[in-house]
Structure 1
């Protein structure tokens, strides 16, 4: 097991990753910009860079995020129509699979072309069935523990959403935000 995967604590891993990412940004920042910066911060810690892509997934597809573990990079693909806080859950889940090493890189011939089309953003030309096949988890990921670990990463990252890009993030406190927080804290006394 490599040194980077030694820490099984998603809390420590994400606390450090979010802190290091926040240092690279000037608030306020958008959720997608923060997630791109998060991947850029993570990349030097891994054996290959992490690329983040927001794409509209087709109706009926049972996933909202996938990771393609190619030989030269990881491609994290997140449903672009998901609410911003949920994008953090999705991206965090996929980053969890990368962190814990529960991805596979063995593809049938021709599938890297599907990844290239996905990266080129020709949404109507993406062979989704092949892209999903590329996101096959390693045998270690079939264990429920691997999914729980990845999901914990997603939920922990989403918990940081309000602090890094939400209404309470540095540089985002406005009179409306303050009023909403006070109203919420007081149980919306006198409100609708």
Structure 2
């Protein structure tokens, strides 16, 4: 297994860069999409991502359980997971406000991330995971925002530790920061 993590700010060009990395391999690619079209704006973003991808790429939607992508990817040599930040958002947005910051839910998210990463270690595929960097911004002004930053920051760190290569994308310019 080879794990490449691509991180950066929102609209930094990280997804486009990750798509280029996947396409440049010349191998069969599975796009593992975490986004859900719950409103018109998100539907439009998803359509933009779909339009950029080569038609021959496979696609699996995994809004909550990342480890499902490990099973779906068996026939592919490259998996592009876009993205971990949306995946964490999917989990947290499903939680009622009175349960925000629940340690049990936080641990469930971490266990799912670990199960996904553990499944990758036994795989021969190249996996390119995209995520948003939350460590460069200020502290969120509300409880949900702070929980999101804490959980995503931890998931990003878990993933970066296991990654062979990590890129940070700033204003469309990728910088290799590990590997």
TM-score by length of 2: 0.29
TM-score by length of 1: 0.27
Q: When you count helix as a share of all residues, which structure comes out higher?
A: 1
Larger RCO (CA under 8 A, 6+ residues apart):
2
Q: When you count strand as a share of all residues, which structure comes out higher?
A: 2
